[in-house]
């Protein structure tokens, strides 16, 4: 079995941008940790009354990375596998898609989405750079807002993942 990777360190005296990125990277690693060592069946295991499982969460967050950094921040169209999803037939299409993938495919898609997001954040000139795509009210998000929103999104879903993982095999977060 592959050795469990440690969670990244967060510098205690870094600048604002570095701190936001470090916390986001920590949550990204934490979500992957919740899936560490599980087989495909365990990743799809649901624990009522929710329909969430680790496969759905990993797929959802891979899509969220693309949605915010590629779509909203850089204003680009999302490519496959997201572009052809039928959102009208399934409002949770990005989660349902994850249940069709193996653990290896889930991790690869998640890691590819994160790598793309990291590249886009690194290319941004500052935390004050605004998104290309506006909100429906015409206002734009700055990179700072997007990073904080992503930290919030991961924090919520890592909490879900902690509960799901513990119910599968008793493993608790690092």
Residue 142's pLDDT is what?
Answer: 98
For residue 35, the 8-state DSSP code is: H
Residue 47's pLDDT is what?
Answer: 86
User: How far lies 161's CA from each of 28, 33, 40, 94, 100, in Å?
Assistant: 12, 9, 15, 17, 19
Looking at 2-6, 120-124, 163-167, 169-173, which range is the least confident one? Answer: 2-6
pTM: 0.94
Q: What is the pLDDT of residues 49-94, one digit of tens each?
A: 889 999 999 999 999 999 999 999 999 999 999 999 999 999 999 9
Closest CA to 46 of 13, 88, 7, 95: 95
Residue 6's pLDDT is what?
Answer: 86
Does the domain formed by 16-169 have CATH 3.90.1300.10? no
């Amino acid at each position: 079995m592959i050795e469990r990777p440690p969670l990244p360190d967060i510098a205690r005296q870094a600048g604002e941008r570095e701190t936001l990125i470090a916390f986001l990277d920590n949550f990204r690693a934490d979500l992957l940790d919740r899936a560490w060592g599980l087989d495909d069946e365990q990743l799809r295991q649901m624990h009522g009354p929710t329909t969430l499982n680790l496969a759905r969460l990993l797929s959802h967050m891979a899509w969220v990375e693309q949605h915010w950094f590629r779509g909203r921040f850089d204003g680009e169209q999302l490519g496959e596998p997201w572009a052809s999803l039928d959102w009208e037939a399934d409002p949770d299409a990005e989660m349902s898609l994850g249940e069709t993938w193996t653990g290896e495919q889930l991790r690869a898609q998640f890691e590819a989405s994160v790598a793309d997001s990291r590249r886009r954040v690194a290319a941004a000139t500052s935390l004050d750079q605004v998104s290309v795509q506006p909100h429906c009210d015409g206002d734009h998000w700055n990179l700072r807002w997007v990073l904080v929103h992503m930290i919030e999104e991961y924090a919520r879903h890592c909490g879900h993942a902690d509960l799901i993982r513990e119910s599968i095999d008793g493993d608790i977060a690092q």
